[in-house]
């Protein structure tokens, strides 16, 4: 009796130890002792499967299981009895048809519900489209609006069908758009949605676990189905065999059933714990065990059939092996010149040449100068008015944007329109004509080279970056800073339109620079206006107040003989280009220049170079030379400005002056008495210093001048 009592005590103690180990395994990873206890239990209970360390035993079940049954879920559920229509096969497995993508791994996140949801659709896509899709479970975890996440959730097929994420997006998202992170990450939508369900339904007549035959029919008709199962430590530690531990408990895990085996009475279960769990990520589980099949549901997914010929697009392209899934009537009847898996007849064909646009471009049948995948002729045909880059204003068969990119056409005014089109369309004038819009003739080019000598310096302007080098240059200037008196130097010229603060920077240059600005040429310490060495490390910077009355020469040199490549930028008042003296937007050479002195007439007048005594905006010499004014006394001043012939002083030389002229000619005292405010010298029309008969003919000419 004593030995029996001791044996009973030992058996009870052993059972308690196993219970302690197994109860702890629900919240912690399985230890070696826990696995040993499971093996002992399996041996005593006749398990037909093995347990051991695998890809899931190092995590607690709370991170592996996350299916949470909603309250009253049947109240709004759509059920389909899925009654078998014929004798079902005894053995079926979608893997035998190559229709199961690689097993996924949810890692340390209770997102089995999302993986079961996505898994069923991934298998359907492979079955019907022959495309191995990888869908984003993270989008379901992060973007559902039901509060589900790594702490658990329920079937999310509605989000692949009609239910929207926070951005209004519906349908499955590819893994590449939102990669799995095994965390409750924020939803940074919108995302691309590539696949959409036609619907889904629960299997059976309303019971929590439908009949086995209904599940099998659903698998045959609709592909792998999502189901719930009760998981505990023996399921977690499963390494192979037929799982038959029928421990009862609340369903807590979502998986996918892909097939069955009637002779051995098991389902083929696809898990989401990675390929290092079970039999390559799969389990054979006894019918009716661990509540397998709970809330089984299928999805409706239509294959891609872009040409509506009732043949999957993938099969349109290739019939595959005889007896295979694509060995269908009408298969292999489409080409795929682009190799993108889409039949050519479904691809865009904007030029209606019977070939996909992508192939027109790929084979060089149509140019695609802007590399947007659209033949240029279609870009031209569909170009909106507000998009100048896709026009062909010069009718050369090339998009304007490509003309500019290749510099076949220039765009000096940066308006995205070729210069020749600005001119031809009347948007810019070209008074010269030199093929350059006038507004561009008014400014120097952006690639102004640095001059080796001060005298050859060219004009530079603010808001342009200039590059050059002092290597190989001579020295013809000096400055008070940087010991640059022996260093090679180069020069630029600057003159401003209005007064202001000029800033010159050599930041970004590649050697120890010295920068100075001078008010004369050659630039010396005597006419230096500013100088700097080492403002930005070894780079230089100056700023100074400038005004239009002065000219400035910018000297770039190096410290103690240094030379190299430089980068110069200016900010400040706009430059005055010598081609436009009056700042009216018209090149000087296109303005009136009646005296042919190379300057517009209005600049001659404004600068005091030419007088305009009659205020008609024409230089006096041009009034005389052009015949609009007389200069009978050859003084260089229009006669109307001298009062010549206006003997009655009424402001005009006309017929009313005839009697006064005769009086001045024959009776000087009488004239002076009658016209005391006038000068008798106005009657000296020929300018010989005397009022006499020799002035009569010139006076007549003056009156009749037209």
Query: Which residues are annotated as catalytic?
Result: 112, 253, 271
Please name the residues in contact with 468: beta carbons below 8 A apart, sequence gap of 6 or more: 449, 450, 490, 556, 565, 566, 568
Of the CA atoms within 13 Å of residue 307, those in its CB half-sphere come to: 20
DSSP 69: P
What Cα–Cα distance (Å) separates residue 300 from each residue in 131, 157, 160, 193?
17, 10, 11, 17
d(CA 648, CA 655) in angstroms, rounded, equals 10
d(CA 227, CA 237) in angstroms, rounded, equals 20
Query: Scanning the structure block, which residue is given the tokens 């990119």?
Result: 405
What Cα–Cα distance (Å) separates residue 384 from each residue in 149, 388, 392, 413?
46, 8, 12, 22
Helix (H) or strand (E) holding 514: strand 513-518
DSSP 216: H
Q: How many CB atoms lie within 10 A of CB 119?
A: 26
Query: How is 334-384 classified by DSSP, letter by letter?
Result: ---TT-SSS-GGGS--TT-SSS-HHHHHHTTSS--TT-SSS-HHHHHHT--
Residue 706: exposed, middle, or buried by beta-carbon count in 10 A (0-12, 13-18, 19+)? Answer: exposed
d(CA 17, CA 98) in angstroms, rounded, equals 45
């Amino acid at each position: 009796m004593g030995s029996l009592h001791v044996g009973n005590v030992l058996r009870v103690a052993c059972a308690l130890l196993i219970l302690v180990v197994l109860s702890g395994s629900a919240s912690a990873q399985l230890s070696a002792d826990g696995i040993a206890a499971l093996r002992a239990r399996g041996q005593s209970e006749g398990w037909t499967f093995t347990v051991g360390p695998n890809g899931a035993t190092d995590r607690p079940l709370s991170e592996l299981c996350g299916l949470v049954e909603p309250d009253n879920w049947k109240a709004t559920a759509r059920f389909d009895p899925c009654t078998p229509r014929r004798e079902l096969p005894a053995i079926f497995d979608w893997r035998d048809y190559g229709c199961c993508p690689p097993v996924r791994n949810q890692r340390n996140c209770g997102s089995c519900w999302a993986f079961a949801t996505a898994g069923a659709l991934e298998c359907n896509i492979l079955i019907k489209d022959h495309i191995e899709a990888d869908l984003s479970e993270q989008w379901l975890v992060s973007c559902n609006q039901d509060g589900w996440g790594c702490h658990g959730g329920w079937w999310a097929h509605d989000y692949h069908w009609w239910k929207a994420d926070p951005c209004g997006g519906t349908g499955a998202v590819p893994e590449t758009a939102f990669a799995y992170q095994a965390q409750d990450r924020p939803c940074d939508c919108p995302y691309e949605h590539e696949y959409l369900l036609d619907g889904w339904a629960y299997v059976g007549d309303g019971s929590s676990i439908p009949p086995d035959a209904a599940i099998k029919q659903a698998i045959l008709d609709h592909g792998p189905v999502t189901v719930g199962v009760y998981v505990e430590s023996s399921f977690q530690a499963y390494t192979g065999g037929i799982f038959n531990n029928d421990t009862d408990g609340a369903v807590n895990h979502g998986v996918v059933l892909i097939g069955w085996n009637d002779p051995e009475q098991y389902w083929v279960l696809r898990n989401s714990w990675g390929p290092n769990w079970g039999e390559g990520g799969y389990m054979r589980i006894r019918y009716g065990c661990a509540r397998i099949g709970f809330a089984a549901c299928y999805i409706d997914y239509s294959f891609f059939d872009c040409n509506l010929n009732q043949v999957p697009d993938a099969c349109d392209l290739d019939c595959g092996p005889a007896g295979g899934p694509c060995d269908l009537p009408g298969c292999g009847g489409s080409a795929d010149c682009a190799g993108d898996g889409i039949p050519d007849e479904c691809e865009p064909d904007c030029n209606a040449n019977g070939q996909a646009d992508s192939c027109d471009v790929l084979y060089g049948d149509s140019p695609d100068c802007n590399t947007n995948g659209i033949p240029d002729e279609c870009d031209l045909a569909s170009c909106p008015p507000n998009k100048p880059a896709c026009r062909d204003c010069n009718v050369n068969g090339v998009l304007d944007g490509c003309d500019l990119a290749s510099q076949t056409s220039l765009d000096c005014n940066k308006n995205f329109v070729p210069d020749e089109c600005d001119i031809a369309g009347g948007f810019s004038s070209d008074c010269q004509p030199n093929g350059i819009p006038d507004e561009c003739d008014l400014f120097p080019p952006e690639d102004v080279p640095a001059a080796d000598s001060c005298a050859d310096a060219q004009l530079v302007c603010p808001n342009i970056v200039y590059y050059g080098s002092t290597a190989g240059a001579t020295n013809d200037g000096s400055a008070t800073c940087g010991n640059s008196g022996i260093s090679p130097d180069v020069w630029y010229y600057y003159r401003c339109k209005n007064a202001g603060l000029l800033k010159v920077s050599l930041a970004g240059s590649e050697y120890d620079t010295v920068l100075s600005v001078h008010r004369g040429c050659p630039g010396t310490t005597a006419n230096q206006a500013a100088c700097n060495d080492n403002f930005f490390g070894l780079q230089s910077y100056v700023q100074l107040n400038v005004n239009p009355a002065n000219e400035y020469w910018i000297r770039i040199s190096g410290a103690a003989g240094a030379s190299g490549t430089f980068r110069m930028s200016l900010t400040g008042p706009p430059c005055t280009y010598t081609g436009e003296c009056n700042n009216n937007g018209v090149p000087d050479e296109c303005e009136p220049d009646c005296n042919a002195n190379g300057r517009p007439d209005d600049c001659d007048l404004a600068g005091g170079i030419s007088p305009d005594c009659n205020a008609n905006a024409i230089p006096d010499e041009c009034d005389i030379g052009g015949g609009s004014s007389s200069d009978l006394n050859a003084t260089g001043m229009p006669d109307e400005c001298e009062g010549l012939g206006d003997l009655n002083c009424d402001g005009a030389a006309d017929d009313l002056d005839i009697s006064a002229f005769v009086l001045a000619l024959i009776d000087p005292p009488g004239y002076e008495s009658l016209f005391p405010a006038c000068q008798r010298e106005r009657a000296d029309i020929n300018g010989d210093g005397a009022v006499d008969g020799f002035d009569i003919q010139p006076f007549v000419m003056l009156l009749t001048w037209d």
